[in-house]
Chain A
């Protein structure tokens, strides 16, 4: 196993990892997060030797995102973008970004990536029931914030 195999694995999952990280911490930190977890993983063992690289890397992104947000606030959306949005969308974005990280991750994977609960549980490293709880709590909180 070598660099070329690692490159292949990385390329295969890069975009999904970036989207995931962006949904969790914003665009400006997402590349840093992906770079960090990829390099950290490679230092330990080749990506190509991971049994389930997608699941491993998605979990790593979530963990790193939580770590980053402990150090700094989530990156705000560009002002020019926010100004272009309808108040309703801007308000919803704000509410989503206020969700606890794991709820935010579950919301992204469920509503954007359209992943089933079982798969989300695998990607987050929790039980399906826990994912359902994250989603339930997130919906309740969003509903309250957006009313």
Chain B
């Protein structure tokens, strides 16, 4: 009965300004943003992982990556770029050592196409073997003109970058590589990123290492222990680049099979190895490890532990800024993130080009890889956004975990 008394004393309330629909819209958006952050964001495992973070921290991360024009004429028509439909993103890992002079060429050590089907619900990681024999088109970067010719695909980056340094070198190298791939596969890239793996070690350090599974016993030829200290290299190499034997007194670092936490230096060293892999799958093993690593980093980047720790986050972003260069293909990075928000770490699907087996050919005394017919079919499926069907017919091309 008091209730009536109160109601009476209140009188007639003014018209409500509580907008329930707006509240629901706001909360829905918030939930989505959290999903982008917490579960995962988008495609290029590394590049976008950092950006998913960005949405939560506001703008700093979109500033933390440096958008640059990488794709050159191999890119999309920028005036009409949108995030709708299937997307292909070229991610190139280069191994530029800090002491490397301008005379030495940075090679593209890992070439990965991130294919996102039209539904934007998953992303496929497709590696191109770095020793693949391809036609590289003629290209001039202003300092140096490359006449075109047949070579390993990782040389395309080096030819494009020849004579240039820093961002200009990366830009030109990337552009020639993208053009070579377009000629090879018919795929035009909607965005791209260059990851400097040496610098990327700092990103992984800032993340506090990475949890990943070693799927074959791997012996490092680069790192070993001598008298309790880490030394490099661990192995002597023959003149032809093949592995000879450990340096005297050096015990090489070995990565045993199993899931564990790897420190940054361990992870980066592990994914670099292609020579002493237990299954002798060489370059293909390396690609697989690299894809598994990218997935693991993506997972770590988007884990709540990273997102909620401002100190760690700031470290990660600053390290990303130093080691990743991005071409957003004319679409703002925020839009990319938003469009790819449904893709979590578990939606990244690693695949085996050439079925994960060598398909080598000798030309003029050098060994090259060639794409098998099935691989060409696979890349056509990527171009035509029909990967699902291809992989259903080739289930062993999907890398588990």
Tell whether A pairs with B: no
Which chain A residues have a beta carbon within 8 Å of chain B's beta carbons?
A: none
